[in-house]
Amino acid sequence: MERAMPADFPFDVVAFDLDGTLADTAPDLTAALNHALGVLGRPPVPAGDVRHMVGHGARALLQKGLAATGEMTEALVDQGFPIFIDYYLDHIADGSTIFPGLNEALDRLSARGVKLAVCTNKQEKLALRCLDELGWGSRFDAVIGGDTLPVRKPDPAPLFEAIARCGGGRAAYVGDSITDTDTGRNANIPTVAVSFGFSDRPVEQLDATALIDHFDDLIPTLERLGEDESWLSCPICGSNKFVPRLQRGYVHCEACGSNERARLLWMMLGKHGLLMPGKRVLHFAPERSTAERFHALWGDGYEAVDIDPALYEFAPNIRKIDLVRDAARLPSDHYDAIIHSHVMEHIPCNITAILYHLHRALKPDGKQVCCIPVIRGGCWSEDLGPLTHQEAVARFGQEDHVRTFGADDIQLTLGMIFALPDPYDLTTEFDVATLIRNNIPRINWRGWSPNSVLVLEKSDLLLRS
């Protein structure tokens, strides 16, 4: 049964960092660190210094403590880590205190139907023990530690997992460090920074969505953030309302249905002078958010096509094209632009030929505006042979995919067909304010990703005699 959402509050889930956000745990972390250092024959680290070392987990804290008192080696870390953990478990909340106003804020959030979560880089068992000792054994609906998943903050996955375990919905995050605000930005989720935590830099430099000096200010701040979205604007339809989309945060435009890559395609078309009447454009697998707008703009010059037109009945005059069979039949020097997004992973043939023929069909000043999904930290993989549903999903993520594109070898694969940017950096195309306003998550700004959009000119083709 789907849970009831808060009727009078803009967020369904509020997640918190632990150390330096929910509680001042520095006294006990300092004691555990200095105990481990003492056993290793090192002098203690002042409590004030330890406060600024917290935020990346216990092992990182020990590494910093060793570096501050002499040589740091992984062998010493391995030796001291169990000493630190054993002591800390026995004294985890001896001197830790809850920040003023927090319990009252949590009570008020719960009373309004908001689910509460903890997302910390502390080991999960330590986080659970600490929360229990602080009297919060059953206070939070989800607790995600630094070892709960294979990745930790600032990767957004732990925050997404915390939100999912709370039932999903609109979420905000509260933290005290650059790790926390980076996590919120990577998740595309509003992040409130507290000024009284363990940050090693002025909180004004954390680039949080909002700052608070006391937990009495938390709920009014969240209400304001939920109501004031005027700083966002979908470049396609102008709406400022965005809703969650799977594991990508608030990227789905509630009005036109665009996601981040559809908005980027639109932005690139505009930047390169293509959003004007009189253009001839071929659009594969058209997006619902733009198909009718493109037709209204380009009229009969707009050709919406796909191998299965029945899936795109919303697109005016949609017709069938099978790229495997029909790419070589496209007219040469014909189109001002050819648009495709997340198409190339589906094509069951050598895509070098397909991309060549698409480029051949462009006018001399034409452009291929496309989004080819690139896996961060992955490599090219392809199989054109018969695959079962399970095999295709396991290897390529979807039953009708035949390949993946990887960031690690992109210059040796797609980069052998076209001159590609190296590195990929959206901030060379758009200023930061525009990317923020158009709700393009920061995780897509730099480095290859599934949402990287390319504008390929005729001269970018490297396959020449």
Q: DSSP string spanning 385-427?
A: S---HHHHHHHHSSTT--EEEEGGGGGGTGGGTB---SS-BGG
**141 vs 118: CA distance, rounded Å:** 8
Q: What local confidence, expressed as pLDDT, does residue 246 receive?
A: 65
In the chain, what percentage of residues exceed pLDDT 70? 97
Burial class (CB in 10 A: 0-12, 13-18, 19+), 231: exposed
In the chain, what percentage of residues exceed pLDDT 90? 78
Per residue in 160-189, pLDDT tens?
A: 899 889 987 778 999 999 999 999 988 878
Q: Which residues are catalytic?
A: 17
**242 vs 103: CA distance, rounded Å:** 30
Q: Phi and psi at residue 406, in whole multiples of 5°?
A: -115, 145
Q: What local confidence, expressed as pLDDT, does residue 19 receive?
A: 93
DSSP helix, strand, coil percent of the chain (3-state; round to 5): 40, 15, 45
Confidence bin at 124 (pLDDT 50/70/90): very high
**Is 19 marked within a binding site?**
yes
Give the least confident one: 66-80, 157-171, 225-239, 343-357: 225-239
Question: Please, are residues 184 and 207 in contact by the beta-carbon 8 Å criterion?
Answer: no
Q: State both tokens at 375.
A: 């896996």
The type of residue at 235 is P
13-22+96-227 matches 26-90 in fold: no
Per residue in 73-120, pLDDT tens?
A: 999 999 999 999 999 999 999 999 999 999 999 999 999 999 999 999
Per residue in 442-453, pLDDT tens?
A: 889 999 999 999
Determine the CATH number of domain 258-460: 3.40.50.150
Give the chain's radius of gyration (CA, Å): 26
Confidence bin at 231 (pLDDT 50/70/90): low
Q: What local confidence, expressed as pLDDT, does residue 1 receive?
A: 32
Task: Tell me the average pLDDT across 274-298.
Answer: 97
- Average pLDDT of the chain is 92
**257 vs 234: CA distance, rounded Å:** 10
Asked if pLDDT for residue 2 goes beyond 70, the answer is no
Q: What local confidence, expressed as pLDDT, does residue 230 receive?
A: 56
Question: Please, are residues 332 and 358 in contact by the beta-carbon 8 Å criterion?
Answer: no
Strand partners for 179 = none
Determine the CATH number of domain 13-22+96-227: 3.40.50.1000
Q: Domain locations in the chain?
A: 13-22+96-227, 26-90, 258-460
Look at the alpha carbons of 233, 237, 243, 248 in this order and tell me if their dihedral is positive or negative. negative
Q: What local confidence, expressed as pLDDT, does residue 431 receive?
A: 87
Confidence bin at 4 (pLDDT 50/70/90): very low
**Is 17 marked within a binding site?**
yes
Per residue in 367-407, pLDDT tens?
A: 999 999 999 989 999 999 999 999 999 999 999 999 999 99
Q: What local confidence, expressed as pLDDT, does residue 104 receive?
A: 97
Q: What angle do CA 113, 115, 116 make, to 5 degrees?
A: 135
Asked if pLDDT for residue 228 goes beyond 70, the answer is no
Return all residues near 388 (Cβ < 8 A) that are at least 6 apart: none
SS (H, E, C) 151-183: CCCCCCHHHHHHHHHCCCCCEEEEECCHHHHHH
- Entry pTM: 0.66
Q: Which of 42-51, 243-252, 352-361 has the highest mean pLDDT?
A: 352-361
Determine the CATH number of domain 26-90: 1.10.150.240
**261 vs 120: CA distance, rounded Å:** 30
